Amino acid sequence: MNSIKKVGALLLLVILFFYGCEKSGVETVTKNLPAPVKIELRSEEARLVKTDQQFAFEFFSNVFEEETKEEDQSFMVSPFSLSMALAMTWNGAAGETKTTMQKTLKMESYSDNDINGYYKKLKEALLKTDPSTQLSIANAIFTNKFVTIQPGFIKTNTDYYDATVQPVDFSLPVTKDIINQWAADNTNNLIKEVIDKTNAYDLMYLLNAIYFKGSWTARFDAKNTSKKAFTTENGTKQTVDMMFQTAKFNYTEDETMQVVRLPYGNQAFSMLVLLPKSGKKQADVVSALQDKECWGEIRAALHEYEVELYLPKFKTKYSKKLNEVLTNMGMGLAFSDAADFSRMSAFPARIAFVKQDTYISTDEQGTEAAAVTTVGMELTSMPAIPQKVIFNADKPFIYLIQENSTGAILFMGSVKDI
């Protein structure tokens, strides 16, 4: 009877988790995990996912091209973090500015409610689908306490994006510390600084933070990690810590690349590794992904194979200002003095910068990753200040002494005669 029970339990695991157990003594972590919660999407929402994917591949392609021209080092970006931060910002845009931002996001054919509802549903669903994987998605808006922000803009971003809203004084040096602390708190301290200063003419900062930590469904055995050669595209050889295991994974290939899917936890999340074929380069893979049908075809072609998998341990920390990338993608108007953010504030404003900070570390246990996207808004028109000011205290006056960071008044007086 005991042997029958054991066979039955083994079959049950195979049915529940789709993947066979690995060889080489590598530990699996699927035992006792609940099945992933499937995210059910309406047809409209499913189309939005595809447009979001198109934005992701175009965004990645533009960053890849820029990096190739510059230092050509490893990098990582978060398309989802960027698109969510831009969607929050877009809720304050009007006229042509709104249209160009929507086109850049590939969502020009959808209504405000469609787009905001999509991000709300996806954010909530992603957090529930795998309790064995740590995932947090947080949004925040820091506003200029001296400038009136449109209440409809605030309501939309709190209702749909669960954004925390905090009015601050951007003229104080301590304000940058408040914003940076929020980033650290929401990325498990992986990203501790996203801005280095603020100034009195800042209108607001919109931030999205994503934190992810997942254990491989089939973990690598550290005993199988060894020093191996890694050859860069220019022919330089490096010695790396190469992990190894033989296991059953979903895999496919075409003339350009090999693709393997490495699941985390209960398999709600996975890493897909896209390896250029012999004679091909990363640029060929990036180019292939620009085809709207490419990614769907790759996903449909994935099937289970026994794979001898070699994967280097790697860690990347990256920071990039995205103004030029987004301008090239069609969003230049939002950065100009002609920008229309009247749904955000009655004061003329533009996007001063969009910046993304990311971190990823992958080892035998799994992956830890984080991203913070920061959208800085600045006022483009303020009351004119005279070039020359005359202040002649030749009559009675009032004075006060305050603590500057809080504005607390310590002393106040009147000079009527001297």
pLDDT for residue 15:
30
Cα separation, 166 vs 138, in Å, equals: 14
The confidence band for 9, taking pLDDT boundaries of 50, 70 and 90, is very low
The confidence band for 16, taking pLDDT boundaries of 50, 70 and 90, is very low
The confidence band for 132, taking pLDDT boundaries of 50, 70 and 90, is confident
pLDDT in tens, 314-353: 899 999 999 999 999 999 999 999 999 999 999 999 999 9
Q: What is the mean pLDDT of residues 253-282?
A: 90
Q: What is the mean pLDDT of residues 130-149?
A: 93
Given a cut of 70, is residue 152 above it in pLDDT?
yes
Given a cut of 70, is residue 71 above it in pLDDT?
yes
Asked whether residue 114 falls in the same domain as residue 184, the answer is: yes
pLDDT for residue 391:
59
Residue 11 forms part of a structural domain: yes
Given a cut of 50, is residue 402 above it in pLDDT?
yes
Give the Cβ contact number of residue 108 at 10 Å: 13
Task: Kindly report the average pLDDT of the chain as a whole number.
Answer: 86
Residue 38 forms part of a structural domain: no
Asked whether residue 278 falls in the same domain as residue 328, the answer is: no
**Domain final residue, candidates 271, 299, 314:** 314
**Domain final residue, candidates 289, 314, 339:** 314
Bridge partners of 242, per DSSP, are 226, 312
HSE value, Cβ hemisphere, 13 Å, CA-based, for 309: 30
The confidence band for 73, taking pLDDT boundaries of 50, 70 and 90, is confident
pLDDT in tens, 191-248: 999 999 999 899 999 999 999 998 999 999 999 999 999 998 888 899 999 999 999 9
Residue 399 forms part of a structural domain: no
Asked whether residue 183 falls in the same domain as residue 323, the answer is: yes
- Which comes out higher in pLDDT, residue 260 or 19? 260
For the entire predicted model, the pTM comes to 0.85
Asked whether residue 223 falls in the same domain as residue 210, the answer is: no
Residue 265 forms part of a structural domain: yes
Asked whether residue 9 falls in the same domain as residue 56, the answer is: no
pLDDT for residue 312:
92
Counting the structural domains of the chain, the total is 2
Asked whether residue 89 falls in the same domain as residue 234, the answer is: no
Asked whether residue 182 falls in the same domain as residue 209, the answer is: yes
Residue 416 forms part of a structural domain: no
Q: What is the mean pLDDT of residues 149-166?
A: 97
Q: What is the mean pLDDT of residues 268-273?
A: 89
Lowest mean pLDDT among 245-249, 305-309, 387-391: 387-391
- Which comes out higher in pLDDT, residue 372 or 13? 372
Residue 85 forms part of a structural domain: yes
Asked whether residue 342 falls in the same domain as residue 211, the answer is: yes
Lowest mean pLDDT among 19-33, 137-151, 367-381, 389-403: 19-33
Give the Cβ contact number of residue 230 at 10 Å: 14
The confidence band for 22, taking pLDDT boundaries of 50, 70 and 90, is very low
Q: What is the mean pLDDT of residues 169-185?
A: 96
Asked whether residue 296 falls in the same domain as residue 335, the answer is: no
Give the Cβ contact number of residue 112 at 10 Å: 15
Biggest alpha carbon–alpha carbon distance for the chain: 105
Range of the domain at 359: 43-215+319-379
b/e 241-264 (16+ beta carbons within 10 angstroms → b): ebbbbebbbbbbeeebbbbbbbbb
pLDDT in tens, 53-65: 999 999 999 999 9
Q: How would you write the chain as a 3-class SS string?
A: CHHHHHHHHHHHHHHHHCCCCCCCCCCECCCCCCCCCCCCCCHHHHHHHHHHHHHHHHHHHHHHHHHHHCCCCCCCCCHHHHHHHHHHHHCCCCHHHHHHHHHHCCCCCCCHHHHHHHHHHHHHHHCCCCCCCEEEEEEEEEEECCCCECHHHHHHHHHHHCCEEEEECCCCCHHHHHHHHHHHHCCCCCCCCCCCCCCCCEEEEEEEEEEEEEEECECCCHHHCEEEEEECCCCCEEEEEEEEEEEEEEEEECCCEEEEEEEECCCCEEEEEEEECCCCCHHHHHHHCCCCCHHHHHHHHCEEEEEEEEEECEEEEEEEECHHHHHHHHHHHHHCCCCCCCCCECCCEEEEEEEEEEEEEECCCEEEEEEEEEEEEEECCCCCCCCCCCCCCCCCEEEEEEECCCCEEEEEEEECCC
Alpha-carbon separation of residue 134 from 58, 187, 193, 271, 347 (angstroms) = 28, 11, 22, 15, 40
pLDDT for residue 388:
57
CATH number at residue 229: 2.30.39.10
The pLDDT > 90 percentage for the chain reads: 64
Residue 394 forms part of a structural domain: no
pLDDT for residue 40:
84
Asked whether residue 202 falls in the same domain as residue 258, the answer is: no
Given a cut of 90, is residue 37 above it in pLDDT?
no
pLDDT for residue 398:
55
**Domain final residue, candidates 314, 343, 361:** 314
Alpha-carbon separation of residue 71 from 64, 327, 355 (angstroms) = 11, 21, 18
CATH number at residue 202: 3.30.497.10
pLDDT in tens, 347-372: 999 999 999 999 999 999 999 999 99
Positive or negative: CA dihedral 109, 111, 117, 120: positive
The confidence band for 39, taking pLDDT boundaries of 50, 70 and 90, is confident
Q: What is the mean pLDDT of residues 289-318?
A: 92
Asked whether residue 245 falls in the same domain as residue 371, the answer is: no
Given a cut of 80, is residue 128 above it in pLDDT?
yes
Given a cut of 60, is residue 418 above it in pLDDT?
no
Residue 300 forms part of a structural domain: yes
